[in-house]
Amino acid sequence: MVLNVNPPRRLAWMAPLLALSIGCSMAFAPGPVATAQDAPALVVDDAATANPDLVDVQVSDPAGVGISGQTLQVPEGYGVSVIAQLSEPRFMAIDAAGSLLVSDAGDGVIYRYPFDGVAFGDQETLLSGLSRPASVALFTTDDGPYLYVGEPNQVTRYQYDTAGAAGEPEIVIPDLPTGGHSTRTVTFGPDGMLYLAVGSSCNICVEEDAIRATVSRASPDGSDLQIIATGLRNPVGLAFQPDTETLWATVNERDQQGNEIPPDLVTIVTEGANYGWPACMPPDAAPQESGADCSGITPPTVGIQAHSAARVDLSRRRRRTRRPGWRSDRRSAWLLESPAAGRAEAAADRF
């Protein structure tokens, strides 16, 4: 499947090579064609994103990892605690027992922090020896619950027990292209399907592998993999809006165009849409180079500050016990507690 973009002149010489060299053991089927949105793109500047309702709170360090004197702004009534210091935490998930799973790309490990209804226990190594694991996702099939892990070259699943060891690895999506953007983000939709984001190999180029800079969909066992949206340079975050079938993505857009050009994206992912990379630049589908045809490009739902490298999380969980929400940076896992029961959110702010 050839990416649905018209390459700029500087890249056009690669087109014949692209047509000949795209070969893949996976079958990609195009979805329905989506037309460009008529409404102008919404670009949000820093001032518009300021939240006057946030308050300063002191970060506590009950685990004694050596972080003190830090202040964060959070919604009123929340507290922030640091419970672990990791090498390179990337994504998180909360299992059915309330335990926290964290991928550490630097150490090649998935850690688990058991939850007893009040607090998290000591760190457990659930999986090790992995190749820069990024996303972790939990999904229950007819065979029981599975933990899915996205690595640069594959998506693997493990039968999952909230109180025991993970099962044997089963590679469900093999032979993903490596190099360049290495995050492979997995999430599951209300349709019971697996959704996979794969970033580009470069800043601006025509890709030789069709799955680059796309979002795809597959069955939970990895079969029937289909590209559903293209032109997304590095779609790191994927999340379904609760109680809907709306898929959102955060996209790290191209570099070296200017300090604030172009914006990073927070956008609804529409099946069949082309979001422009590499030939067309958001938010208004401006040609990257003269002569590019950008007439059919779908603009982002929202553009945010350039180089934000943000991630979207729209999870919502309701339980009787008080639930934690999490933020992580590149080195530390932060626990955000609310006195109000019933909501958990996870976000990672360095990608």
Confidence band, pLDDT 50/70/90 cuts, at residue 333: very low
Chain mean pLDDT for the chain: 79
Q: What is the pLDDT of residues 44-91, one digit of tens each?
A: 666 666 677 889 999 988 878 888 788 988 888 888 888 888 999 999
Between 155 and 85, the higher pLDDT residue: 155
Q: What is the pLDDT of residues 5-25, one digit of tens each?
A: 333 323 332 222 222 222 333
Confidence band, pLDDT 50/70/90 cuts, at residue 118: confident
Q: In what order do the strands lie in the sheet with 71-75?
A: 71-75, 54-60, 79-85, 332-337, 324-328, 346-348
Number of H helices, E strands in the chain: 3, 25
- Integer Cα distance of 261 and 205 in angstroms: 18
What's the pLDDT at 347?
Answer: 29
- Integer Cα distance of 304 and 246 in angstroms: 19
- Integer Cα distance of 300 and 83 in angstroms: 36
Q: What is the pLDDT of residues 289-318, one digit of tens each?
A: 998 999 999 999 988 888 887 766 665 543
Residue type, 265: L
Q: Which two tokens stand for residue 303?
A: 């553009």
What's the pLDDT at 208?
Answer: 94
What's the pLDDT at 48?
Answer: 61
Could you tell me the fold of the domain covering 9-19+29-348? Neuraminidase (2.120.10)
Per DSSP, 67 falls in state -
What's the pLDDT at 11?
Answer: 35
